[in-house]
């Protein structure tokens, strides 16, 4: 069944994607942050090595005409989130807090099933994967003058669970993302075609979309979403020179920070036993403004679609490699970026508007 494509075996997925190209679809891939620092392991390279542009080149060699960067969707996610959080802070009502991140599907499923009383606090903004799907489809459609239905979006993700997001539909009825391949599946596909990431030429992201920022890239390692949110809030409140970092590999990291007139309590967590402890504290009155929950060790870099065998050393190397890759980005945060405002202008929408919500928020069940 069309809605069950996420269940397909790798060979069926490769064939289905190739068929879309033969059918004349405009083929677009997107690369999650964590993929770039792990895919090399499948080809004998070191964990944590930044192979962003090699991965773009590999996808182009596999037939994708356009490659987008999932951190762009993370930038839009945080851009919208800052607006949501600032209006909640201005309303000064505790009932809006804490806000939980929405980007980890493992966490969303866990929250919905085990802590349904907290589910309304999960951010309504769609995951960076889905936002990138929507933004890329709509911008490419506008710029090339083709219907959105002609564009096929394939997400390259560190996560098996991300395949569920292919079930989510935009209000137009189109999928945000049509297919998901894990890091392992992309490597498998390349090997079937006798391709080696070390030998492919570096590629370039599609010029139809703007570059992403450091904040968008850092989403893939623990603490990255909190850092992105704090940096963007500081920027929005005119504290752009303030250097905010929320680094470190601890399973639970907390910070109380003054940004503008607001004193914010934030925490990042990975590991279910830690999560249950923090959720218990929240239920007993401990106040946080933002809670980042990532299901996997060290965040998405430790996702279930990543190269095996999985070890603590590999997770750590990938997390550190990803932070270093993020720090190389010339743009530091999405606030005030011409590229991000250009997306809204091209689509003729305003941040936080009903139209932005139709494109970038969950329009269904969040799962």
- Residue 303 binds ligand SF4, judged by CB under 6 A: yes
Distance CA 321, CA 330 (A): 17
Instruction: Tell me the two tokens of residue 358.
Output: 């139709």
The rounded distance, in Å, linking the Cα atoms of 33 and 224 is 11
Task: Give which of 114, 46, 86, 80 is closest to 344, Cα–Cα.
Answer: 80
Residue closer to ligand SF4 (CB basis): 164 or 262: 164
Minimal distance, residue 37 CB to ligand SF4, in Å: 13
Q: How far is the CB of 108 from ligand SF4 (least distance, A)?
A: 9
Tell me the closest approach of the beta carbon of residue 225 to ligand SF4, in angstroms: 10
By CB under 6 A, name the one of 154, 190, 300, 335 that touches ligand SF4.
300
The CB-nearest residue to ligand SF4 is 303
**Quick one: which segment of 70-78, 207-215, 258-266, 290-298 binds ligand SF4 (CB under 6 A)?**
290-298
3-state DSSP assignment of residue 262? strand
Binding to ligand SF4 by residue 106, rule CB under 6 A?
A: yes
Of these, 78, 161, 197, 326, which contacts ligand SF4 (CB under 6 A)? 161
Chain Cα centroid distance, residue 78 = 10
Q: Which stretch binds ligand SF4 (CB under 6 A): 103-111, 169-177, 200-208, 245-253?
A: 103-111
Nearer to ligand SF4, 43 or 298 (CB): 298
What is the C-alpha to C-alpha distance for residues 265 and 118, in angstroms, rounded to an integer? 18
CA distance 337 to 74: 14
Contact between 70 and ligand SF4 per CB under 6 A: no
By CB under 6 A, residue 105 contacts ligand SF4: yes
User: 76, 137, 165, 110: which is closest to 296 by C-alpha?
Assistant: 110
CB under 8 Å to 366, separation ≥6 — which residues?
A: 102, 108, 112, 119, 122, 124
Coil, strand or helix at 185: helix
* Least gap, CB of 105 to ligand SF4 (angstroms): 5
Binding segment toward ligand SF4, per CB under 6 A, in 157-165, 208-216, 228-236, 308-316: 157-165
Binding site for ligand SF4 (CB under 6 A): 104-106, 158-159, 161, 294-296, 299-300, 303
């Amino acid at each position: 069944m069309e809605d069950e494509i996420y269940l397909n075996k790798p060979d069926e997925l490769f064939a289905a994607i190739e068929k879309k190209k033969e059918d004349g679809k405009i083929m677009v891939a997107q690369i999650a942050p964590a993929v770039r620092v792990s895919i090399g392991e499948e080809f004998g390279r070191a964990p944590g090595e930044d192979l962003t542009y090699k991965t773009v080149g590999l996808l182009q060699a596999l037939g994708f005409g356009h490659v987008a960067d999932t951190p762009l969707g993370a930038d839009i996610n945080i851009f919208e989130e800052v607006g949501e959080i600032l209006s909640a802070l201005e309303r000064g009502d505790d009932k809006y807090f804490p806000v939980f991140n929405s980007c980890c599907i493992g966490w969303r499923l866990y929250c919905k099933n085990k802590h349904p009383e907290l589910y309304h606090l999960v951010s309504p903004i769609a995951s960076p994967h889905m936002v990138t799907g929507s933004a890329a489809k709509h911008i490419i459609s506008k710029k090339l003058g083709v219907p959105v239905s002609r564009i096929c979006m394939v997400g390259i993700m560190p996560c098996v669970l991300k395949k569920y997001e292919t079930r989510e539909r935009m209000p137009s009825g189109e999928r945000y993302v049509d297919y998901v391949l894990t890091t392992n599946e992309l490597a498998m596909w390349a090997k079937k075609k006798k391709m080696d990431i070390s030998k492919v030429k570096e590629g370039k992201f599609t010029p139809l979309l703007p570059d992403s920022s450091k904040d968008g890239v850092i989403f893939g390692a623990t603490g990255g979403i909190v850092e992105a949110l704090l940096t963007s809030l500081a920027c929005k409140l005119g504290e752009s020179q303030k250097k905010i970092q929320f680094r470190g590999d601890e399973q639970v990291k907390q910070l109380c920070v003054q940004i503008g007139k607001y004193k914010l309590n934030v925490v990042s967590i990975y590991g279910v036993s830690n999560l249950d402890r923090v959720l218990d504290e929240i239920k007993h009155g401990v106040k946080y403004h933002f809670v980042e929950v990532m299901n996997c060790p060290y965040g998405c870099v430790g996702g279930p679609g990543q190269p095996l065998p999985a070890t603590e050393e590999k997770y750590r190397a990938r997390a550190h490699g990803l932070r270093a890759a993020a720090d190389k980005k010339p743009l530091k945060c999405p606030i005030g970026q011409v590229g991000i405002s250009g997306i809204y202008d091209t689509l003729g929408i305003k941040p936080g508007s009903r139209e932005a919500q139709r494109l970038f928020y969950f329009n269904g069940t969040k799962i």
